[in-house]
């Protein structure tokens, strides 16, 4: 149970990190366009 919870938490953090990375890339792209 704890093992599954850790895996789920890692997946969730990965999703958050990917989302943050995309937002950062998006803001950088907008700055370059401006």
pLDDT tens digits for 1-34?
Answer: 566 676 677 887 888 888 888 888 887 777 777 6
State residue 22's pLDDT score: 85
- The secondary structure of residue 7, as a DSSP letter, is H
The model's pTM:
0.45
In angstroms, the CA 29 to CA 3 distance is 39
Domain that holds residue 13: 1-34
pLDDT for position 15: 81
pLDDT score at 16 = 80
Q: How many domains does the chain have?
A: 1
State residue 6's pLDDT score: 67
């Amino acid at each position: 149970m704890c093992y599954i919870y850790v895996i789920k938490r890692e997946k969730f953090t990965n999703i958050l990190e990917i989302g943050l990375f995309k937002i950062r890339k998006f803001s950088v792209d907008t700055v370059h366009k401006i």
